[in-house]
Every structure is written in structure tokens, then in C-alpha cells.
Chains A and B, each alone.
Chain A
Amino acid sequence: MQKTIITVVGRDTVGIIAKVCTYLAGNQVNILDISQTIVDGFFNMMMVADMAGSQKTIPEIRHELHQIGEEIGCQIHVQHEDIFQMMHRI
């Protein structure tokens, strides 16, 4: 398992999750968990995904999702889970 955290932040519009999930499904990235809030009209989503089955590397996925983010007016980040585990867990 290669746990990756995908965050999407931006103005709330129709189809944000659909667009991201379609891309992930097309690249064999398995979504393990989704949490989402809306603060002041801003859409804020975090996905925990497993990239072990994907042919692509994190930097490649990161680059492509970044482009999708620009299309839908959101900022999308893709990072290995370890950076958050290290910083927030002893």
C-alpha cells in the first residue's frame, strides 16, 4: 500500500469530486477515505488514496491533478502520507 493524501481546495461548484474521482479511477488509484467540509463557500476535501496499483508516480499524478485543478478552479495537492504522519504524530 502506498498511502497518498489528495487535497482539493476552491470555490464550491458542481462536479468537483466527480472530476477528481474519474481521473483517479482512470489511473488505478484506489480511494480509501474521503472527508469534506465547506468553509465560507470554499470547498475543502481530503482524500486518502492508495497508489500502489497505479502505473504513475506521485509527481506525475500530482502534475496532472494540478492541471485538472486549474480547469475546475481548485487547488489540488498530492502528497505522500508520511509528511503528515511525521509532523502530527509522535
Chain B
Amino acid sequence: MVSIFEVNETNKMIEHENLDVRTITLGISLLDCISPDLAELRENIKMKILTAAKDLVAVGREIEGEFGIPIVNKRISVTPIALVGGAACRQPEDFVEIAKTLDECAKAVGVNFIGGYSALVSKSMTGADRLLIESIPRALALTDRVCSSVSLASTKTGINMDAVRLMGKIIKQAAEETKERDSLGCAKLVVFCNAPDDNPFMAGAFHGVTEGDLVINVGVSGPGVVKHALEACRDSDFELLCETIKRTAFKITRVGQLVAREASRRLGVPFGIVDLSLAPTPAIGDSVADILKEIGLEHPGAPGTTAALALLNDQVKKGGVMASSYVGGLSGAFIPVSEDQGMIEAVEAGALTLEKLEAMTCVCSVGLDMIAVPGDTSGETLSGIIADEMALGMVNAKTTAVRLIPAWGKKAGDLVEFGGLLGHAPVMPVNSFGCSRFVSRGGRIPAPIHSFKN
């Protein structure tokens, strides 16, 4: 039987250390909705989502009520829309109509984001992929809850530099289309290398083509819990430090596994994976940066940051893997700037630069995430930054991503405000030397030699 101390420990994590389940994400395949008629396709999509997700939010609340654990977000991911809409869409505006349908569905079932307005172009683009990509700025401006992602590279295929170049322009356009809202559109758009099919976190969640009809994926969180646990071993050596992170990650992940199992059972939908991520929020005490400080850094960005992040990421996985029967998604520490108060402070203190963030992405699960850059940053420069990040992912056989916000009309040092979970971000300076001749070469960068494992 559980003891009073164990019960108190769990409740302290929930009440004082921001322990929560960050998201239950219902993956829905839309492949059976495909029709050459746009109106019919939209109707099929609507019927499918409204039927499959009708109980999602209610079941989420039921689980919260029974176990006393907050489930912050209930979300939906769908099959990449470039695949679903290819037969029906003749122009970018047609895809925008599908985005509106997705937005209506998200609002109708009460989820705060729906992901999968996506194209998978890591090797090359079909006509439909190109149309969808061209429609992204408009789609994100005209919808509230739709998230978009584009897979640009993988270890197996190399980097599609044509698509990298195009996305530099698209991100700029998305910033312009939403300039009255601090270029919010870009906060809902991410590009990937080695994109996972089962990621439950936004903006990059989509329901991959390797998935079944429906699936439940759960993203855990809990940076505040890890930080508090580490307060007790401030002067200890690395062995105890790592052991403490591992034990804490195990406990956090077990809660995610329980929620995933219950959601799966109550919705009658197969359980997919638990994503073992330390996902921060702008709330005080819910910060990955604070963990890095607790490990011994004055600010994230100080020398030693990459090593500290590497050990944190590894211990979270080692603790989490044993706690869950299936692990997937991104699984690691997230280091977004705008969504983490400690990261924002590090940027404002001058400790953290874009280049250091790039180095940090070599050892953790995501990439350059929620970083505001000056509004006059050129599309070519954005493409250059994306290409660098894609190369890190490709060569290291890991997922990397880029979610940059070239904040319209803002310069380095200004502040952009997105509100809610997306937070606010200081605009960071970008290396202004040119890369346009490199970016405009065309074609793709071949896959690295170590990808040939057959």
C-alpha cells in the first residue's frame, strides 16, 4: 500500500512544482477522406474529426478529475494535408479552404490546436506539396488553431535545399500576413529534419502515414519537478545528480503512461507512445533553463551549457524509458526561448545567443524553437539558418527543427508578445553576413555516408 509520504510527494509535485501532463494528442488518419471534389473532401474531413474526437476533451477532464493531475492540452493531429488534399486542390487557395475546415473542427470539439497542415518533402516536392507550402502563410493568418509543419530533410534522404529556400520565403510571408499580431503565424509553423510520425507536441504534430486510423499519444512535462529534486543535491557529484534526474523522470513519465493508458481505454483508441519531454511553459517555476541553472550555470548560454543539457536530456530518457511501454515522438528537453522564462532572462542578460542555441540543439530533442529575430532578416538568411539546423539533424541522425519568428517591424532588443503558452520573446540579433549564393544553388544535399547501413 502507498504511504502517506509518497502521496504527499505526488501532491506536492502537482500543487507546487507544476507537474502536469502537457498534452493528450489524438492522431486521426484522414486518408479515407480523400476525394477529387473539394467540397466533398472538406465534408469528409469534418465528419471524420467530429466523430473521432467528440469525446476527447470530456475524457481528458474526466481523467483530470479522477487522478487529480492537470492535463493542460487536448489536441488533434491529422495526416499531412498535402497528401489528403492533393487530388482536390488545384491552387493554394483550395488548401486554405481545408485549413479553415480544420480550424472549425478544432473549435467544435474544443481542442486548442490541430496539427498536420503539413507536407513531407525531405527528398523532393510533388505539385500538391508545393501548393500546400505556398498556402501556409494565408492559412495560418486566416485560422486560429491550425498548426503547420514541413519536413525538409532526413538522414536517409539528405536535405531538400529547394524546399529550404522556399521555406525561408514562406516564413517571411507568414510573418507579414500576421504582422498586426507580432507575426504570430510563424509561431504555428515549424520545419523539421527527421520528423517523427508520432509527435504529440505542437506546432510539429502530424499523424504520419505509418500510423493506424486513430492513435493516442501523450506528452509529459515537469521541468519544475526536476528542478526541485535537484535543489536537494546542489553540492553533489555528477553521479548523484544524474541519478536524481533519472528517478524524477521515471516518476513523471509514469504519470504520463497512466494517463495515456486511461485515455486509450476510455476513448477506445489504441495507445501509441509517451513522449518523454521536459516541456517548459512561460509560468514561473516551469522552466528548463532553471534546471540548467540548478545544475550549476549562472545562465543558460554560459560555458558548460551544452554539456549540462546533454546530461539532462540523456538522464530524462534513461529514467523515462523504463516508465513507459512505448516511447516516441521527440523525447528530450525542449529549449524554446519564448516559452521559458529562464531562457528569456538569459537572452536579456546577454548570456544566450542564436549560435549557442544552435550548439545546444545538437544534444537535445528539438531545435531552434520560438526564437524571434529581426523583421528585416532576409528569406535567404532564414534558409541558411534552417540549412544549418537540418545538417545537424541529418548528420547526427536525430530530429531537429526550426521555428523562427522574423517579427515584422521589430529589431534586435525589441519584445514580441504572443500570449498564453506561446509566451513572449526578446528579438535576438542574427549574423548578417550573406549566404544567398549558397542557398540559391538548387537541388538537394546528399545523405551522409553513415546513412547507408544496408
Contacts of A62 in B (CB 8 A): 65, 68
Closest CB-CB distance, A3 to chain B, in whole Å? 9
The residue from B7, B62, B65 contacting A7, defined by CB atoms under 8 A apart? B7
Contacts of B62 in A (CB 8 A): 59
**Which residues A1-33 have CB closer than 8 A to chain B?**
5, 7, 33
Closest CB-CB distance, A64 to chain B, in whole Å? 12
Contacts of B254 in A (CB 8 A): 86-87
Asked whether, in the complex, the Cβ of B258 is within 8 Å of the Cβ of A79, the reply is no
Q: Is A44 an interface residue (CB 8 A)?
A: yes
Scan A48-90; emit 1 where CB is below 8 A from any B CB, else 0. 1000000001110010000000000000011111111111111
Asked whether, in the complex, the Cβ of B2 is within 8 Å of the Cβ of A5, the reply is yes
Q: Is B180 an interface residue (CB 8 A)?
A: no
Contacts of A59 in B (CB 8 A): 62, 65-66
The residue from A33, A35, A83 contacting B68, defined by CB atoms under 8 A apart? A83
- B322: nearest residue on chain A (CB-CB)? A90
Asked whether, in the complex, the Cβ of B255 is within 8 Å of the Cβ of A7, the reply is no
Contacts of A82 in B (CB 8 A): 67, 258
Asked whether, in the complex, the Cβ of A86 is within 8 Å of the Cβ of B255, the reply is yes
Asked whether, in the complex, the Cβ of A87 is within 8 Å of the Cβ of B68, the reply is no
The residue from B3, B68, B255, B257 contacting A78, defined by CB atoms under 8 A apart? B68
Asked whether, in the complex, the Cβ of B8 is within 8 Å of the Cβ of A88, the reply is no
Asked whether, in the complex, the Cβ of B2 is within 8 Å of the Cβ of A77, the reply is no
The residue from B7, B255, B257 contacting A5, defined by CB atoms under 8 A apart? B7
The residue from B1, B8, B10, B65 contacting A58, defined by CB atoms under 8 A apart? B65
Q: Known contacts being A35-B4, A83-B255, A88-B6, is A7 close to B11, with CB within 8 Å?
A: yes
Asked whether, in the complex, the Cβ of A84 is within 8 Å of the Cβ of B7, the reply is yes
A86 to B9, CA, bound (A): 13
Asked whether, in the complex, the Cβ of A83 is within 8 Å of the Cβ of B69, the reply is yes
- A58: nearest residue on chain B (CB-CB)? B66
A36 to B255, CA, bound (A): 25
Asked whether, in the complex, the Cβ of B8 is within 8 Å of the Cβ of A7, the reply is yes
Closest CB-CB distance, A6 to chain B, in whole Å? 10
Return 10 A-B CB contacts under 8 Å, by A number. Answer: A7-B7, A35-B4, A37-B4, A46-B4, A62-B65, A77-B68, A78-B68, A83-B10, A88-B10, A90-B322
Q: What 19 additional pairs, Cβ within 8 angstroms, besides A80-B66, A85-B2?
A: A5-B2, A5-B7, A7-B8, A36-B4, A57-B66, A77-B11, A79-B66, A79-B67, A82-B258, A83-B10, A84-B2, A86-B255, A86-B258, A87-B10, A87-B251, A87-B255, A88-B2, A88-B10, A88-B251
Which B residues are within 8 Å of any A CB, using their own CB? 1-4, 6-11, 62, 65-69, 251, 254-255, 257-258, 322
Which A residues are within 8 Å of any B CB, using their own CB? 5, 7, 33, 35-37, 44, 46, 48, 57-59, 62, 77-90
The 3 closest A-B pairs by CB, nearest first: A59-B65, A79-B68, A84-B2
